[in-house]
Amino acid sequence: MTTINDFNPDFKTHKRAKRIKLRYDAINDRAVITMPRFTSKLSALKFATSNIEWLKEQRTKTPKPIYLIDGSIIPILGEMKKVIHDPILAARVNIDDQRIIVGGPKEGFSVRLENHLKKEARKTIEPMAQEMAMAINKKFKRIQIRDTKSRWGSCSSSGNLSFSWRLIMTPPQVLEYVVAHEISHLAEMNHSQRFWDIVDTLVSHAKPSRKWLKNEGQSLMMVLNQ
């Protein structure tokens, strides 16, 4: 019989929390229980226990982590490729039709691969963002490629753009949509109809791309540095 202890519960107190909240942390396979100040741990534990079936469901349906290690299989622009470590080669990364070949010593293997994918993401996203911004007569200040695990992109009120490096793994039209989404926020910092009209002037596939991210995106967020 599965108990809450099987989820290695992590109790957190948050001063702004108004009620007990429960979240399943798939990366660490644990239940995260956030509770308001002055709430007893016993009350929080009872709440989590009462939702044990929900936790079990989340554990079952949530994609398992895929680590950037020798032998793993990940997509690049939607095309599946096998990660190969070749210590004889120089400490560089080369991508061909079927493989991602990582040279150099085993130490730092995952970091080298992630850094390379970040560079590839920037090389793809930056010129695309520049072109889209020009198309709507807007400018952005800078682009950051980050290791975000819950958001594909963001646009600050000051005009800074941020994108997840994991976008380099999505199909090209999905990556294009995310860039268009954030560029459109340079004109409209909301999700009004005017905002979506701007998105639709930049790409013709916003709806299927959003659907793809909803159905497939979580598995890519589970691609992790070891």
pLDDT value at position 1?
84
Q: pLDDT digit string (tens) for 76-107?
A: 999 999 999 999 999 999 999 999 999 999 99
CA atoms lying within 13 Å on the CB side of residue 104: 12
Q: Any idea which of 16-20, 84-88, 89-93, 182-186 has the lowest mean pLDDT?
A: 16-20
pLDDT value at position 94?
96
pLDDT value at position 146?
96
Mean pLDDT, rounded, for 157-170: 97
| pLDDT above 90 (res 109) | yes
Residues in contact with 206: Cβ distance below 8 Å, sequence separation at least 6, in sequence order: 177, 180, 181, 196, 199, 200
| pLDDT above 80 (res 226) | no
In which band, very low, low, confident or very high, does the pLDDT at 205 lie, cut at 50, 70 and 90?
very high
The DSSP 8-state label assigned to residue 204 in this structure reads: S
Mean pLDDT, rounded, for 28-53: 93
* The model's pTM: 0.86
